Amino acid sequence: MRLNRIRILTEILGRHLRKMILGGLLSISIVGLLVGCGLPQVSAETRLFLDLTVDYLDEYQLETIEVGGTPVGGLSALAYDRQQGKFYALSDDRGFESPARFYTLSIELDPDRVQIDRVTVENVTLLTDEAGQPFAPGSIDPEGLALSPDGTLFVSSEGVASEGIAPFIGEFDRATGQLIRRLPLPDYFRPDAAAEAQTLGVRDNLGFEALTVGGTGSGEPYRVFAATESSLLQDTDPDHRESPDSRLLHYIVVGDRSQLIAEHLYQLDPPPSVLTVSNGLVELLSLDRASPFASRGGYFLSLERTFGASGFGAKLFQVSIARATDVSTLTRASGQLDGIESLPKQLLLDLSELELSLDNLEGMTFGPQLQDGTQSLILVSDNNFRDEQITQFLLCRLYESR
Q: Does residue 341 fall inside a structural domain?
A: yes
Query: Which one-letter amino acid corresponds to residue 40?
Result: P
Q: Does residue 244 fall inside a structural domain?
A: yes
Q: Measured between alpha carbons, how far is 396 from 292 in angstroms, rounded to an integer?
A: 15
pLDDT at 237 (0 to 100) = 74
**Residue 33 or residue 389, greater confidence:** 389
Averaged over 288-315, what is the pLDDT?
89
What is the layout of strands, in order, in the sheet containing 101-110?
Answer: 75-81, 86-91, 101-110, 115-126
Q: Measured between alpha carbons, how far is 317 from 267 in angstroms, rounded to an integer?
A: 12
Are 297 and 278 in contact, with CB atoms under 8 Å apart?
no
Does the pLDDT of residue 27 top 50, yes or no?
no
In the three-class reduction of DSSP (H, G, I as helix; E, B as strand; rest coil), residue 353 is classed as helix
Q: Does residue 385 fall inside a structural domain?
A: yes
b/e string for 308-339 if b means 16 or more Cβ within 10 A?
Answer: beeebbbbbbbbbbeebbebeebeebbeebee
Does the pLDDT of residue 173 top 60, yes or no?
yes
Q: Does residue 34 fall inside a structural domain?
A: no
In the three-class reduction of DSSP (H, G, I as helix; E, B as strand; rest coil), residue 346 is classed as strand
The distance from CA 126 to its chain's CA centroid, rounded to whole angstroms, is: 25
Which distant-in-sequence residues (6+ apart) come within 8 Å of 109 by Cβ? 115, 116, 117, 367, 368, 370, 376, 395
Number of H helices, E strands in the chain: 2, 22
Q: In this structure, is the dihedral angle defined by the CA atoms of residues 358, 364, 368 and 370, taken in order, positive or negative?
A: positive
Query: At 356, which CATH number?
Result: 2.115.10
pLDDT at 7 (0 to 100) = 41
Q: What is the pLDDT of residues 68-112, one digit of tens each?
A: 999 999 999 999 999 999 999 999 999 999 999 999 999 999 998
Point out the least confidently predicted range of 33-42, 51-60, 221-230, 357-366.
33-42
Averaged over 393-399, what is the pLDDT?
97
Bridge partners of 278, per DSSP, are: 307
In the three-class reduction of DSSP (H, G, I as helix; E, B as strand; rest coil), residue 70 is classed as strand
pLDDT at 220 (0 to 100) = 81
- E strand segments, 132-234: 142-147, 153-157, 168-172, 179-182, 208-215, 222-228
User: Residue 230 gets which letter from DSSP?
Assistant: S
- A 10 A CB-CB count for 14 gives 10
Query: Strand 311-320 relative to strand 299-308: parallel, antiparallel, unpaired?
Result: antiparallel
**Residue 174 or residue 9, greater confidence:** 174
pLDDT at 333 (0 to 100) = 84
pTM above threshold 0.85: yes
Averaged over 373-381, what is the pLDDT?
96
For residue 129, name the pLDDT band (cuts at 50, 70, 90). very high
Q: Does residue 29 fall inside a structural domain?
A: no
Q: Does residue 239 fall inside a structural domain?
A: yes
Q: Does residue 16 fall inside a structural domain?
A: no
Domain tally, the chain: 1
Q: Does residue 1 fall inside a structural domain?
A: no
b/e string for 126-152 if b means 16 or more Cβ within 10 A?
Answer: bbbeeeeebbeeebbbbbbbbbbbbeb
Query: Strand 391-400 relative to strand 52-62: parallel, antiparallel, unpaired?
Result: antiparallel
Mean pLDDT of the chain: 88
pLDDT at 109 (0 to 100) = 96
Q: Measured between alpha carbons, how far is 392 from 351 in angstroms, rounded to an integer?
A: 13
For residue 22, name the pLDDT band (cuts at 50, 70, 90). very low
pLDDT at 14 (0 to 100) = 43
Q: What is the pLDDT of residues 310-351, one digit of tens each?
A: 899 999 999 999 999 999 999 998 777 788 999 999 999 999
The helix (run of H) or strand (run of E) holding residue 33 is helix 2-36
Point out the least confidently predicted range of 224-228, 284-288, 291-295, 312-316.
291-295
Q: Measured between alpha carbons, how far is 140 from 100 in angstroms, rounded to an integer?
A: 8
Q: Measured between alpha carbons, how far is 258 from 402 in angstroms, rounded to an integer?
A: 36
Query: Which one-letter amino acid corresponds to residue 402?
Result: R
Distances (CA, A) of 209 to 2, 261, 279, 284: 84, 20, 12, 9
Bridge partners of 314, per DSSP, are: 305
CA angle, 305 then 319 then 44, to 5°: 130
**Residue 271 or residue 7, greater confidence:** 271
Averaged over 155-177, what is the pLDDT?
97
**Residue 191 or residue 241, greater confidence:** 191
Averaged over 28-44, what is the pLDDT?
40
- Quote the domain boundaries for residue 328: 50-400
